[in-house]
Amino acid sequence: MYVQIGIAFLLDIMIGDPRWFPHPVRMIGVCIEYCEMALRKLIPSERMAGIFLTTIIVFGTYLATYQLLVFFYEIRWSLGILVSIIIIFFSLSTRDLLRETGNVLSALKSGDLKQARKNLSRIVGRDTHNLNEQQVAAGCIETSAENIVDGIIAPLFYAFIGGPALAMAYKSINTLDSMVGYKNERYLNFGWASANLDDIANFIPARIAALILPIASYLCGKDYLNSVKILKRDGQKHPSPNSGIPEAAIAGALGIRLGGPSVYNDIASYKPFIGDPQKNVCFDDISSTSRIVMVSAIISVVMGIAFLMIGGYLSMSGNDFMLGTYDSSSPRIFYKIPSF
């Protein structure tokens, strides 16, 4: 499996998600919309309807992905490997994150604040039309930090421990949270299960990020000691139990302050400040964050492959692992589809 994950990661870095191809996450989003409409009509309790939605989407995504893999593996082994790579590739968003933040950076460098705000609005939920240059840069850095976990470390983590099906199930959890996990009147109860499951699913990956980000900061020539300091001090200040961890690590590494007041749908919202304002946030900090993101992604893959290889060699007796069973006859691809 580490070969498939490695290839999928390289494809993600090189090409990102092709816009012309139907992305699985978009399909999951359509399913969520239809299921929400149906369940709201069928189940009077909003919280119970939301629990059913979360269960249907997550388990449905896992089972559909797993059966798809079984289907292609049974046709031909090499075809199953190819489909595994494609599924893991679609679960990652390293290149897309760097592309979108790069668009914000380019607009800021050219002095086009209006376009920078517009580009930022594509990747954040807050209102951007009144933000100044410093606030645009800070918003870009914050969403980059959060997406280190959501778009890179967490999908890789679940791919390493559970293969393509679990990676895609994680993406369904993440998509549910982004669509119904809001704390507003419409989704406070309906999105309760989705929001809490997302917190649970990201708990371990966020703590892995706490280990990786200071290392990445050091390799990028940033203040890794301050990254650790701010991470310990401010990592749990965020309303989310997970989002504050990468934000604090990045803020400390760059010597900037993130968080504070923002506006969502014309409603003011306040988050605690994270980090110390050793200097003002500027667009150069976006470039530094992007470098840390890339290095963190590479470290995540290398660590995952190392653990997987060690685990594979320690379980050469044939214990079930991830998608299938250890195959001692295949030195390059360690897994064969189990019989059913």
Domain boundaries defined on the chain:
2-336
What are the structure tokens assigned to 76, written together? 């031909």
Give the pLDDT score at 316: 60
Give the pLDDT score at 238: 86
* Placement of tokens 């920078």 in the chain: 116
CA pair distance 231, 225, nearest whole angstrom = 10
Q: Where does the pLDDT of residue 261 fall: very low under 50, low under 70, confident under 90, or very high at 90 and above?
A: confident
Q: What is the pLDDT of residues 31-76, one digit of tens each?
A: 999 999 999 999 999 999 999 999 999 999 999 999 999 999 999 9
Give the pLDDT score at 325: 40
Q: What is the mean pLDDT of the chain?
A: 90
Taking residues 118-124, report their average pLDDT.
Answer: 94
CA pair distance 252, 228, nearest whole angstrom = 7
Least confident of 36-40, 110-114, 235-239: 235-239
Q: Using the predicted structure, report yes or no on whether residue 210 has a pLDDT greater than 50.
A: yes
What SS3 string covers the chain?
CHHHHHHHHHHHHHCCCCCCCCCHHHHHHHHHHHHHHHHHHHCCCHHHHHHHHHHHHHHHHHHHHHHHHHHHHHHCHHHHHHHHHHHHHHHCCHHHHHHHHHHHHHHHHCCCHHHHHHHHHCCCCCCCCCCCHHHHHHHHHHHHHHHHHHHHHHHHHHHHHHHHHHHHHHHHHHHHHHHHCCCCCCCCCCCHHHHHHHHHHHHHHHHHHHHHHHHHHHHCCCCHHHHHHHHHHHCCCCCCCCCHHHHHHHHHHHCCCEEEEEEECCEEEEEEEECCCCCCCCCHHHHHHHHHHHHHHHHHHHHHHHHHHHHHHHCCCCCEECCEEECCCCCCCCEECCCC
**Which residue has better confidence, 191 or 127?**
191
